[in-house]
A and B are shown apart, each in its own frame.
Chain A
Amino acid sequence: MKPAKFDLEKSTDLGEAISALGQADGFAKIVAGGQSLVPMMNLRLAQPDSLVDIRALHDLKRISLDNGQLYVGALTTHAMIEDGLVPDATQGMMQRVARQIAYRAVRNRGTIGGSVAHADPAADWPTALLALGAVAVIQGANAERTMPLGDFQIGAFTVALEPDEVILGFSIPELSADARWGYYKVCRKPGEFADSIGALVIDPARSFARLVLGATDGAPLLLPPSAADKIASSGADGFDIAAARAVIAEAGATFEEYETQIHGAALSRAVQGAFAA
């Protein structure tokens, strides 16, 4: 065995999980698929005093598509999205994102809620869901609340989740018929942690345009709306690496030179991809 000692609480309903989190001594973490947390525990980068296992909570497995809103329960696995078991409300974007996450054996166990809660900058869902304009649905001891991912994602490995709160799922606006998306991930090897992620979602019918840069050293970066609006109105022509680097500079983000170049390439390729065929 590799991890430091911890206590495990297996919860069978949501109330039990929340009270276990509230009563835990020391540092408690929720575990669902554990595909990001357990590797960190095996490397002892994470040493929680206790884990609350929420895999059995049916409240977190709901999936629906109503009135232009896709709802994906937090316990939905990447493989379920990859295999089309979640209704396609994003014109294939979520399916494409899911199939590039780690490896199939990891996607079979890892969950979308865990990915966002863990908030590894190199993970896919924090960037993809921010680009799609998703809202986190969160249950606390007394009330349910919602929070747009732009506010929820604070920094690397940090989200605005109170110690006794659980992510129930995500509400994601359905893309209109004439919407476009692009997603490009720079990885040295398929399934490895990303060096950069570029994501673009344009939905003219809803006047929605977002360009997001992921796999930085912090939370995914929502780039200035003017850049996404310009792409929405005049297309991808001219949005090369230099143009993407200019947008990164305009956002006030600074990286090492080689990182800026990789980020510029990821953004440019995401934008070009959104307008390809």
Chain B
Amino acid sequence: MTQITITINGERISAEVEPRTSLADFLRDDQRLTGTHLGCEHGVCGACTVMVDGVPQRSCIAFAATCDGSEIRTIEDFDDDDVMGDLRDAFTAHHGLQCGYCTPGMLATARDIVTRLPDADEKRIRLELSGNLCRCTGYVGIVNAIKAVLAKRKG
């Protein structure tokens, strides 16, 4: 077992973890933060994307033990986040989800696009979204939702 100290959604936590426990399993099984979803568990589908030290990363291909000292933000921590609020509204308005399984990861990536690439056009949005798989929507609604938030924030 490995001792770690990690900040999750603003709360500093000390825990003992088995080295092979992924960050995603630690968040879901130990911390009961089940908003983080697991799809492929090898870094392809993007469902498990969370913020690690302020940037989106895959929680399925990082071990909790190697995130010692990091600051993690999961989807549960974005209730009062302005950008995420806009994205939630836009995903609803534009049918950006159906079953919702990919949505936590989609929102994490969408927030990264909106904050990092304010001038992104549709082509760039689609390129940046290529690491998040959705099997329901066909992506049109998701792309339109992100476009709407980018346009709104430009004023």
Contact = CB atoms under 8 A, between A and B. Distances in A.
B134 interface: no
Q: How large is the interface on B (under 10, 10 to 19, 20 to 34, 35 or more residues)?
A: 20 to 34
Contacts, number: 91
B22 A2 contact: yes
Contacts of B34: none
Contacts of A35: 43, 58, 61
Given A34-B61, A105-B46, A191 B131 contact: yes
A81 interface: no
B57 A103 contact: no
A43 B42 CA distance: 7
B96 interface: no
A105 B21 contact: no
Nearest to B26: A1
B17 to A, nearest CB: 9
A104 B120 CA distance: 14
A75 B111 CA distance: 26
A53 B22 CA distance: 15
Contacts of A61: none
Contacts of A43: 42
A191 to B, nearest CB: 5
A190 B41 contact: no
A6 B17 CA distance: 12
B20 A79 contact: no
B20 A5 contact: yes
A51 to B, nearest CB: 7
B109 A105 contact: yes
A253 interface: no
Interface in B14-49: 18-22, 25, 41-43, 46, 49
Interface string B57-69: 1101111011010
Contacts of A189: 130
A8 B2 contact: yes
25 contacts: A1-B18, A2-B20, A5-B19, A5-B20, A6-B20, A7-B19, A8-B2, A8-B19, A10-B66, A10-B68, A35-B58, A42-B22, A42-B41, A51-B19, A53-B65, A55-B66, A79-B55, A104-B56, A105-B46, A105-B58, A106-B131, A108-B52, A108-B57, A109-B62, A189-B130
Given A51-B19, A53-B66, 18 more contacts: A2-B22, A5-B19, A6-B19, A6-B20, A8-B66, A10-B65, A34-B62, A35-B58, A38-B22, A38-B63, A39-B42, A79-B55, A102-B131, A103-B131, A105-B55, A105-B58, A106-B57, A106-B58
